[in-house]
Amino acid sequence: DVKVTQSSRYLVKRTGEKVFLECVQDMDHENMFWYRQDPGLGLRLIYFSYDVKMKEKGDIPEGYSVSREKKERFSLILESASTNQTSMYLCASSFQTATASGAFFGQGTRLTVV
Amino acid sequence: AQTVTQSQPEMSVQEAETVTLSCTYDTSENNYYLFWYKQPPSRQMILVIRQEAYKQQNATENRFSVNFQKAAKSFSLKISDSQLGDTAMYFCAFIFKAAGNKLTFGGGTRVLVKP
């Protein structure tokens, strides 16, 4: 089974803190994604990466950055956390050429910024 | 811009009954894939069913089936013989290669199956 693992299920951080969300996949997928999930808005793409050290902005990149130093690991960084970044964050991965397979998701990290 | 719209925020259904979730999308692409994902209360998102846009035959996976109307850009999900374990958020999504295999999601429909 494909496994996408996010380092934390729940996080509480203070405004202004630097926050790291980690994601690891074990299927040698080229693509990795970070989504933000908010009620009524569905999932919105923050950043994605199609290869090591490669990244592209998604629909809502402001206030976030990412790092992909190894193929299996994709980190989302909140440089200075703000209360409007309180949300559910989902990591996903997929093969670059297997469009029909969709993507595989982690269990999500519920981040609360106070 | 590619968009996906799910017009039903919440639906409830009696156990063993059938429920249909609607989804419409907008794209100028011709070659794409459509998906329905399920997110149970435990939050792990899982793939329920997929449809390739170039196939006219509607996809079916056990109790889950889709009604794909390409011209109308409509992609509804039917859950037959609903079970309590079907209670979840359901997301419609699509993907196309030209966008780097990024999934675009609708806002989701919360389904509650009542005993």
> How does pLDDT run across B63-115, given as a tens digit for each residue?
999 999 999 999 999 999 999 999 999 999 988 767 767 888 999 999 999 99
3-state secondary structure (DSSP) of residue B97: helix
Question: Which residue on chain A is closest to B53 by alpha carbon?
Answer: A100
A19-71 residue pLDDT tens: 999 999 999 999 999 999 998 888 999 999 999 999 999 999 999 999 999 99
Which one of A96, A105, A106 has the shortest CB-CB distance to B101? A96
pLDDT at position B91, please? 96
Token pair of A14 as six digits: 């203070």
Q: Which chain B residues contact residue A107 at CB under 8 A?
A: 42-44
β-bridge partners, A78: A19, A64
Residue A93 pLDDT more than 80?
A: yes
Half-sphere exposure of B34 (CA within 13 A, CB side): 33
Closest Cβ opposite residue A99 in set B9, B37, B97: B97
| Total domains present in chain A | 1
Please indicate if any CB of chain B lies within 8 Å of the CB of A38.
Answer: no
Q: Which residues pair with B95 in a beta bridge?
A: B33
The answer to whether A60 contacts chain B (CB < 8 Å) is no
Partner B contacted by A43 (CB < 8 A): yes
Question: Which CATH number is A30's domain given?
Answer: 2.60.40.10
Select the residue of A42, A48, A107 nearest B102 (Cβ to Cβ).
A48
> Chain-wide mean pLDDT for chain A?
93
Q: What is the pLDDT of residue B45?
A: 92
Chains A & B: contacts with CB separation below 8 Å? 64
Q: How far is CA B102 from CA A14, A36, A38, A53, B49, in A?
A: 31, 14, 18, 18, 17
Q: Are B52 and B97 in contact (CB under 8 A)?
A: no
Residue A105 sits at the chain B interface (C-beta within 8 Å): yes
Q: CB B95 to CB A102 under 8 A?
A: yes
Chain A residues near residue B6 by CB distance under 8 angstroms? 42
The sheet with strand A73-78 has its strands ordered as: A4-6, A19-25, A73-78, A64-70
Full residue range of the structural domain in which residue A46 is found = 4-113
Q: Give me the pLDDT at residue B5, please.
A: 94
pLDDT in tens, B8-67: 999 999 999 999 999 999 888 888 899 999 999 877 899 999 998 888 889 999 999 999
Contacts A102 to B, Cβ<8 Å? 33, 35, 37, 47, 50, 93, 95, 103
* Structural domains of chain B sorted by starting position, each given as residue range(s) with its CATH number in brackets: 3-114 (2.60.40.10)
Find chain B residues with C-beta within 8 A of A44's C-beta: 105
- Distances in Å between the alpha carbon of B22 and those of A44, A64, B10, B70, B90? 20, 33, 11, 14, 10
Give the CA angle between residues A86, A72, B37 to the nearest 5°: 55
Q: State residue A68's pLDDT score.
A: 97
Output the pLDDT for position A98: 63
Residue of chain B with shortest Cα separation from A43? B105
Q: Which residue has the tokens 């790092």?
A: A67
pLDDT value at position A2? 66
